[in-house]
Structure 1
């Protein structure tokens, strides 16, 4: 019996250019086999484009993509037909209808052809939905009844039911709450074929078999999970730093040797001239000595210059191996909140979605993690604190200047520059001061004049964060709604750096537990939309 080849993906000389002429990938080659691979890289490096090329969603400008087996693709920007039934979204409606017809006594051959060998399709569908926490969804319900997070899981269920050999996932945990993420982790980890997942979710990346990094148009693969990748990279960078230090020392030595040689040659020339001037050497001998000295000087200078050039080339190679991913460094004393200053007050507060929060006072620069299932009311609470939504009952009052970063990054004006956007929110700030502050957010020199619409996702987020933190009056309370969605690992690290330098109070709604762990959270509010009997529709628990 012939053995079928293991599921695999092979990219050879792959290139892709967008219609506006922007080169996304050029001459990329990469091969990946069975198991789970985490594909990481900076925002804008081409990760999503590479997945779409592998999924044959985009045609390559050059090169080939060979996929062994069937492919299932979960895009980052998912759209579902809200008028469709769940069984249609799962891709089993035709098979299911044929099964019901056969069960009703219709022996038409077309029904048997539609069913094929998939007689247990309904049982598998219910089992897959239950595995992903969607067991409450009936196959005849409409997609309009599911939440955004459930829509992602529903699409994943459709892929799993199709039994793909190669599963491609683009940021699958965005907008998923803690329980949904856990179910997705388990389902993806259990997949028997090849899985390629683009993600910044550390908990998911800790489960992969290998990490593939897309950087500078090439893919490097590291064995092991994210922790193993970071350890290998740290070791590599330590060696690169030693290489740069040694190369710089060598350049300095070669430069000194060249100067010393030039000094000796100059002394020799002066000595020859003095000998001729003192009549201790005749004209012919002086001319011969001069010619010999010139030839010798030329040879020695060429040797030293070649050595110096070679040392500089080695230094350049060493510096290219050393990564210098920029770090955000901010110092915003005006955002500081005194320890006993009252930041916000809740009195018998009930949100518009019915969540009961009771009484609460927040003092000083506390850092509050806001958790709960999707739809429980986290965003509703943040919008209530901004004044955008009034509470259904009670009081919700903020006593300090605040700024709010919603999930949708729509704060900035796209056609304007980064500098102009910040100046709009800080009208009294001097332009030179704004430029100096933007440089700390990595918008240095002309980059501060770049149009917002031309920024990558990570750059746009960084510009939005800069606009919030540099606004007037200085925000002493910062509200963030799922800030790490769609950010690469470097951008998440930069966000963490900025927030750790922020001196005000902070409320962060997030399902990203590793991110929350890095922020020094002092309190937690969990909003539960599945309360016990005789309790409100939802309630908040402070810890």
Structure 2
């Protein structure tokens, strides 16, 4: 009997958050074999959809059906620091059974636990090697793994299960260039149904089709990201042309209506004057006037109907044009005088090794680059005061704020407004709302609970809280800020940082983003010391 094609099927799916905010309604999706990239604006519901498919969320209506075994890599991984690598891979019990058998213990329970998986360690080792985790011992704990290493380790755990359907949510977050290349290869080699959410253009170049989630519906585009962008550009060019034509038609119909009204008025005046000259009886004059008014009414109605139809065509054409809102802010209070010292590290020894001597002066824009696991986050957390240095002195003579990778500075139970207000308690409510509007949180959006925000929305809210804080930060530390952001949100972040006047330190693997925000100084951290580098 032929095996059924592995697939994802969502039928009439509905979901809303506990606060009543709708995400999906009457949603349909069918995904077959191959690699599918799911794209869309932050807040469109991409991650929520993956969680519904994975069974982490329960739909309010409709159904999700999966043919085959499913595995899911979420956007925000929870890594237990005391967990062993083989536990994360899900093979610890099998390893223990294998080692017991090899040592001569022939208890039946060991054979039952191991099953036919006699090469479990070899398969695990090969999978880790393929993902660039060579040298990661299976007995090691995961506490010292970097964010990128944790992502690859969890992906290895999923691949070891040999799933039929694989869901990946922003899998390249925190990965350096070499780790991303390993993940690209794993994606390209996956034989089943793959559905991934990503803003990584290089990864999306490796998919077979793009599903664009917008306004609760999916539009399909064949081919990879480049093909999708080309098709979208053609669509938008056509839509904008239709808008221009519809606008011209509205103007023409308005002009025709005015001209027709003027002609009818002249005709009515002429008819009335002629009737007076002829001294027509009143009954005849009234009859002629009535017929004229009836004809004029029909003509006005015809022109008005044409104008309304033209306006409707314009509204439909305008809906087809994407108008993704942009952040435009100016933050003069963050300005720091040129040459002023904003940070000094004197022989600072980090908790996990490495000694740093560094001085930053305003208003530099510094990129902190380096391999996964080299300690960039440790360095930033030490500067931010979250980790105590083993020795040395850190001086920050200006107000400083730190944006961590995990975006855990917001209170999930509080609204966006309340979170930002907590950072600027002296500001009036109206002032806070006006500031939030510049970060695209207008009206009811400012009253959403932080815990219900998408990854990109949460980032925007966190950035608003930090940049609008009192006192305003003149030194801003950002750790992998483009993680979880779609391409439109990356553009919004770039625009927001254009209005920042202080000193900026950004740890990132996203070189195009770093160049766009005007980095003036590139520093590479290798876990031992900082080196000035030229990224060209």
TM bucket (normalised to shorter chain) is 0.7 to 0.9
Question: Unaligned stretches of 5+ in structure 2?
Answer: none
Query: In the alignment, what sits opposite 2:130?
Result: 131
Q: 1:367 aligns with which of 365, 379, 382?
A: 365
Whether the 8 Å CA contact 1:384–1:390 is kept in 2: the answer is: yes
Query: In the alignment, what sits opposite 1:525?
Result: 523
Structure 1 window deviating more from structure 2 (185-194 vs 319-328): it is: 185-194
Deviation at 1:103, TM superposition (A): 4.9
Deviation at 1:398, TM superposition (A): 3.0
Deviation at 1:184, TM superposition (A): 2.3
Structure 1 window deviating more from structure 2 (316-325 vs 170-179): it is: 170-179
- CA distance, structure 2, for counterparts of residue 388 and residue 199 of structure 1: 30
Whether the 8 Å CA contact 1:349–1:394 is kept in 2: the answer is: yes
Q: Secondary structure at the match of 2:374?
A: coil
Query: In the alignment, what sits opposite 2:311?
Result: 312
Q: Given the superposition, is the C-alpha separation of residues 242 and 76 from structure 1 closer, same or farther in structure 2, using an over 3 Å criterion? A: same
Q: Say if 2:490 is the partner of 1:492.
A: yes
* 1:68-125 deviation per Cα after TM superposition (whole angstroms, max 9, x unaligned): 4332222234346666554343233454455556656677887666655544332111
Structure 1 window deviating more from structure 2 (99-108 vs 243-252): it is: 99-108
Q: Given the superposition, is the C-alpha separation of residues 16 and 465 from structure 1 closer, same or farther in structure 2, using an over 3 Å criterion? A: closer
Q: Say if 2:429 is the partner of 1:439.
A: no
Structure 1 window deviating more from structure 2 (210-219 vs 264-273): it is: 264-273
Q: Secondary structure at the match of 1:326?
A: coil
Q: Say if 2:270 is the partner of 1:280.
A: no
Q: Given the superposition, is the C-alpha separation of residues 68 and 343 from structure 1 closer, same or farther in structure 2, using an over 3 Å criterion? A: same
Deviation at 1:327, TM superposition (A): 0.7
- CA distance, structure 2, for counterparts of residue 162 and residue 319 of structure 1: 48
Structure 1 window deviating more from structure 2 (499-508 vs 445-454): it is: 445-454
Whether the 8 Å CA contact 2:14–2:23 is kept in 1: the answer is: yes
Q: Given the superposition, is the C-alpha separation of residues 430 and 46 from structure 1 closer, same or farther in structure 2, using an over 3 Å criterion? A: closer
Q: Secondary structure at the match of 1:65?
A: strand
Q: Secondary structure at the match of 2:305?
A: helix
Q: Secondary structure at the match of 1:403?
A: strand
Q: Given the superposition, is the C-alpha separation of residues 518 and 202 from structure 1 closer, same or farther in structure 2, using an over 3 Å criterion? A: farther
Deviation at 1:505, TM superposition (A): 1.8
Query: In the alignment, what sits opposite 1:326?
Result: 325
Q: Given the superposition, is the C-alpha separation of residues 427 and 21 from structure 1 closer, same or farther in structure 2, using an over 3 Å criterion? A: closer
TM-score normalized by the length of structure 1:
0.86
- CA distance, structure 1, for counterparts of residue 295 and residue 307 of structure 2: 18
Whether the 8 Å CA contact 2:365–2:504 is kept in 1: the answer is: yes
Deviation at 1:175, TM superposition (A): 3.7
- CA distance, structure 2, for counterparts of residue 64 and residue 471 of structure 1: 44
Q: Given the superposition, is the C-alpha separation of residues 35 and 293 from structure 1 closer, same or farther in structure 2, using an over 3 Å criterion? A: same
Q: Secondary structure at the match of 2:77?
A: coil
Deviation at 1:467, TM superposition (A): 3.1
Whether the 8 Å CA contact 2:497–2:517 is kept in 1: the answer is: yes
- CA distance, structure 1, for counterparts of residue 333 and residue 384 of structure 2: 20
Which structure 2 residues correspond to residues 118-197 of structure 1 after superposition, within 5 A?
A: 118-143=117-142, 146=145, 148-197=147-196
TM-score normalized by the length of structure 2:
0.87
Query: In the alignment, what sits opposite 1:535?
Result: none
Whether the 8 Å CA contact 1:355–1:527 is kept in 2: the answer is: no
Q: Secondary structure at the match of 1:36?
A: strand
Query: In the alignment, what sits opposite 1:227?
Result: 226
Aligned CA RMSD, in angstroms, stands at 3.2
Deviation at 1:315, TM superposition (A): 0.8
Structure 1 window deviating more from structure 2 (41-50 vs 163-172): it is: 41-50
Structure 1 window deviating more from structure 2 (34-43 vs 19-28): it is: 19-28
Query: In the alignment, what sits opposite 1:532?
Result: none
Structure 1 window deviating more from structure 2 (35-44 vs 72-81): it is: 72-81
Whether the 8 Å CA contact 1:367–1:521 is kept in 2: the answer is: yes
Query: In the alignment, what sits opposite 1:301?
Result: 300
The count of residues paired between Structure 1 and Structure 2 equals: 533
Structure 1 window deviating more from structure 2 (92-101 vs 291-300): it is: 92-101
Q: 1:505 aligns with which of 478, 488, 503?
A: 503
* 1:472-511 deviation per Cα after TM superposition (whole angstroms, max 9, x unaligned): 4443322112222333332222111111332322101223
- CA distance, structure 2, for counterparts of residue 356 and residue 237 of structure 1: 53
Question: Unaligned stretches of 5+ in structure 1?
Answer: 530-537
Q: Given the superposition, is the C-alpha separation of residues 429 and 85 from structure 1 closer, same or farther in structure 2, using an over 3 Å criterion? A: closer
Whether the 8 Å CA contact 2:43–2:457 is kept in 1: the answer is: no
Query: In the alignment, what sits opposite 1:35?
Result: 34
Q: Given the superposition, is the C-alpha separation of residues 235 and 501 from structure 1 closer, same or farther in structure 2, using an over 3 Å criterion? A: farther
Q: Given the superposition, is the C-alpha separation of residues 425 and 167 from structure 1 closer, same or farther in structure 2, using an over 3 Å criterion? A: closer
Whether the 8 Å CA contact 1:171–1:197 is kept in 2: the answer is: yes
Query: In the alignment, what sits opposite 2:208?
Result: 209
- CA distance, structure 1, for counterparts of residue 70 and residue 351 of structure 2: 43
Whether the 8 Å CA contact 2:36–2:208 is kept in 1: the answer is: yes
Whether the 8 Å CA contact 1:248–1:315 is kept in 2: the answer is: yes
Deviation at 1:198, TM superposition (A): 1.4
* 1:375-421 deviation per Cα after TM superposition (whole angstroms, max 9, x unaligned): 53323333443455554344432344333223343545566665565
Deviation at 1:320, TM superposition (A): 0.7
* 1:38-87 deviation per Cα after TM superposition (whole angstroms, max 9, x unaligned): 21223332222322333344454444434343322222343466665543
Whether the 8 Å CA contact 2:416–2:446 is kept in 1: the answer is: yes
Query: In the alignment, what sits opposite 1:242?
Result: 241
Which structure 2 residues correspond to residues 340-489 of structure 1 after superposition, within 5 A?
A: 340-358=339-357, 360-387=358-385, 389=387, 391-412=389-410, 418=416, 422=420, 425-426=423-424, 435-445=433-443, 447-448=445-446, 452=450, 455-489=453-487
